[in-house]
């Protein structure tokens, strides 16, 4: 079996599992990894000053180590010149690799060729001009297993009661984050499914500590009106068990890359973009600004409510 290095999402899973006092063998089983792999990862990438393992720090340590230990060129200039010649004939990297290997020639992988193309472009080269399309870095491959926001024990959205699915009562909410540009500053949006009432909190960073603290403030302010919350699969919601223990709410999680399963939240996030367009830095956005936007949305008439406002529906249905 071919070994693959741990991914960032797997490191977040390990970090979350340690916080929840999961056994290393159990985490390894969930990941499909050897227990020794998990143990070695924790030992190698724990922070030096307190020996704690944090997913974000562990990922940065691993990336830095790979950069320091990166091997030198494995292919001679003659081979690379042949590859460049084929690129100028408008062959795709996959065509180059397939044809060269069929002829018994040693050739880089198509991913390596794409990396060379990007480096050439950054240096002002023209090789990219011979490509019909350039692959994107970090693209999720078709039918590859979902890894986003993996954490042991999360309830899937399919476990929700029918009354939640049908928006049959007040008290079922959806949560997500809205990102800005250039900084970690972002927004937490929590919307009630039946009425469409939204609460917006400013976050200084997109992490579990910030998101959990902000969500707790929203729930505390409307404690009697919270039964369930369905979150996006981002790792910023991995502190959900604290909310369940403290407030008794039940948390669910949508399927990774299935944003339509949280239609209420996605719709509200789109409305928020009317006030805070994409590409805007959210560093200077204050909580007062968030409250003002939420108030405007909560008092805007909605067609699905017969042009009543979300606040009207929420108040009369409680």
Question: Where is average pLDDT lowest: 79-83, 92-96, 135-139, 269-273?
Answer: 135-139
pLDDT surpasses 50 at 152: yes
DSSP code for 252:
E
Strand partners, 190: 175, 199
Residues sharing a CB contact under 8 Å with residue 14, sequence separation 6 or more, in sequence order: 6, 27, 31, 38, 41, 42, 53, 55, 58
How far is the C-alpha of 23 from the C-alpha of 29, rounded, in Å? 10
pLDDT digits (tens, 9 = 90+) for 186-217: 999 999 999 999 999 999 999 999 999 999 99
Question: Where is average pLDDT lowest: 51-65, 126-140, 162-176, 283-297?
Answer: 126-140
pLDDT surpasses 50 at 117: yes
**Which comes out higher in pLDDT, residue 70 or 85?**
85
Cα separations in angstroms, 206 against 9, 177, 233, 243: 15, 8, 13, 17
| Other CB atoms within 10 A of residue 36 CB | 10
Q: What pTM, to 2 d.p., does this model score?
A: 0.57
**Which two three-digit tokens encode residue 20?**
């929840």
How far is the C-alpha of 56 from the C-alpha of 297, rounded, in Å? 35
């Amino acid at each position: 079996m071919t070994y693959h290095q741990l991914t960032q999402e797997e490191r977040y899973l390990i970090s979350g599992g340690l916080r929840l006092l999961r056994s290393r063998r159990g985490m390894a089983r969930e990941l499909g990894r050897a227990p020794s792999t998990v143990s070695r990862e924790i030992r190698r990438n724990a922070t030096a000053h307190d020996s704690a393992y944090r997913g974000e720090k562990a990922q940065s340590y691993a990336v830095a180590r790979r950069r320091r230990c990166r091997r030198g060129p494995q292919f001679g200039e003659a081979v690379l010149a042949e590859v460049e010649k084929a690129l100028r004939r408008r062959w795709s990297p996959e065509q180059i690799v397939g044809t060269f290997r069929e002829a018994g020639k040693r050739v880089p992988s198509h991913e390596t060729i794409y990396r060379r193309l990007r480096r050439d472009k950054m240096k002002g080269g023209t090789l990219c001009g011979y490509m019909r399309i350039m692959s994107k870095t970090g693209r999720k491959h078709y039918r590859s297993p979902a890894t986003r926001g993996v954490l042991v024990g999360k309830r899937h959205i399919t476990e929700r009661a029918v009354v939640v699915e049908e928006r049959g009562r007040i008290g079922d909410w959806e949560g997500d984050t809205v990102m800005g540009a250039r900084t970690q500053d972002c927004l937490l949006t929590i919307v009630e499914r039946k009425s469409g009432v939204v609460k917006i909190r400013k976050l200084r960073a997109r992490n579990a500590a910030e998101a959990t603290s902000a969500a707790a403030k929203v729930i505390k302010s409307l404690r009697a009106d919270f039964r369930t919350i369905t979150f996006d699969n981002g790792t910023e919601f991995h502190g959900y068990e604290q909310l369940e223990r403290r407030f008794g709410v039940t948390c669910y999680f949508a399927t990774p890359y299935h944003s339509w399963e949280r239609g209420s939240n996605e719709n509200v996030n789109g409305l928020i973009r009317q006030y805070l367009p994409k590409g805007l830095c959210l560093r200077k956005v204050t909580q007062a600004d968030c409250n003002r936007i939420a108030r405007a949305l909560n008092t805007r008439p909605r067609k699905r409510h017969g042009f009543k406002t979300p606040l009207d529906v929420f108040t009369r249905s409680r």
